[in-house]
Amino acid sequence: MRPHRPVLLGLTLTLALAGPAGAEGPIRIGEINSYSGIGAPFTLPYRAAVEMAVDQINAGGGVNGRRLEVLFRDDRGQPAEAIKHAQELVTADGVTLLAGGFLSNVGLAISDWARQHRVMYVAAEPLTEALTWSQGHPWVVRVRPNTYEQGRMLAERAAKTGHVRWATIGPNYEYGKRAWETFRDRLRELRPGVEVVGEHWPALGKLEPGPYVTAILGERPDALYVSLFGSDWLAFVREANKRGLFQKMFVVGILLGEPEYIDPLKTEAPEGMLVTGYPWYAIAAPAHRRWVEAFRQRTSAEPRLGSLVGYITVLSIAEALRRAGPDLDADRLSAAFRGLGVETPIGPITFRAVDGQSTMGAWVGTTRLDRARGVGVMGEYEYVPGEGVLPPADEILKMRAGH
């Protein structure tokens, strides 16, 4: 494997160059994402960081002497809209690869289109493990840790609490179902006596919280697993706070320590939840601190997890383009991503050769109120590297053989 390239965060990002940028036309990236609707709290900070990374790379001379150019498209959370954009970006706009994605069902649709047309797709956010496993193919890789990884991280901690009676609530689509199933299955492995007393699946973006809170309270679980997010989560919290739900059961929330979803609640944020998230305010690594300061200076805003994911996505694409060399067809890009090492603000990650899943990890901790800032934050957290919870290569090959 080639050695990692140095990254000067907040200043100029230097990659291997071959002549002055602009000697050839730009390398175009087609970025499809849910920039409106329920995804906006994540995807707008994501876009700001994508633009930041591209500007840094171009200021340093581009990639192999060529500038990067990103064409942004809004899929509006609809698979059909995403596929329309993919078709236009590739055939009319001449992009070299596709990137982005927020909702799991949309990401799966883009990935399937990329498979059929042999176009490289770098999935940033869609979290269903099917993307790189049962429905994986040579032309898709993913940046973020998936539902399987985060579910297992949370289950390892939740099993130690001793809670037996569990209920769940989450959006009724691929992400919500798999987020629960992977957590539940690992929890049962660790604590065989676990009982599921209720499952609740509201339509995404349409939660009417009252009846769901009533039903959950009526089931009297010891603990509740939540995969809601965005406006659904905010509505649920406000109704649950009125009814004392968080005082009556232990709550586990995948993603719910991310600033995107905890900051809007301000002092309404529940305390004592076990969550995955992003405690950017407490991560002491110098590279990360430099990146946070650079993002703040550029945007006059605090980073979100979307910001970090957007930045790492562009770093990963740039390094794969550099590795692939001048001939940027999909097969060369696919090969370039396999085993690719990338230096990031949170340390090195690798895209696994067997499945294209990156080893980016996640932070697991417990929520509490920071009264000085007036928001919920993560405390007692740890960073769990992705490689520690990913299945071995032989299991991935069995998943793909069965598809």
The pLDDT of residue 400 is 83
Ramachandran area for residue 314 (φ above 0: left; ψ -120 to 50: alpha; else beta): alpha
CA dihedral 199, 205, 209, 212 (to 10 degrees): -10
- pLDDT score of 21 more than 70: no
For the chain, the distance separating the N- and C-terminal CA atoms, rounded to the nearest angstrom, is: 31
The pLDDT of residue 9 is 46
**Mean pLDDT for the stretch of residues 198-219:** 97
Structure token pair of residue 123: 């999935």
- pLDDT score of 15 more than 50: no
- pLDDT score of 90 more than 90: yes
The pLDDT of residue 168 is 98
**Percentage of the residues of the chain whose pLDDT score is greater than 90:** 91
Alpha carbon of residue 365 to chain centroid: 17
Does the predicted TM-score (pTM) go above 0.85?
A: yes
pLDDT digits (tens, 9 = 90+) for 332-382: 999 999 999 999 999 999 999 999 999 999 999 999 999 888 999 999 999
pLDDT digits (tens, 9 = 90+) for 225-250: 999 999 999 999 999 999 999 999 99
Structure token pair of residue 167: 């209920």
- In the chain the domains, ranked by start, together with CATH numbers, are 27-146+284-361 (3.40.50.2300), 148-282+362-388 (3.40.50.2300)
Measure the CA–CA gap between 119 and 57, rounded to whole angstroms.
Answer: 23
- pLDDT score of 61 more than 60: yes
Measure the CA–CA gap between 43 and 40, rounded to whole angstroms.
Answer: 5
CA atoms within 13 A on the CB side of 126: 32
Which band of pLDDT confidence, cut at 50, 70 and 90, is reported for residue 5?
very low
Which band of pLDDT confidence, cut at 50, 70 and 90, is reported for residue 402?
low
Measure the CA–CA gap between 153 and 155, rounded to whole angstroms.
Answer: 6
Which band of pLDDT confidence, cut at 50, 70 and 90, is reported for residue 24?
confident
Mean pLDDT of the chain: 93
The pLDDT of residue 399 is 87
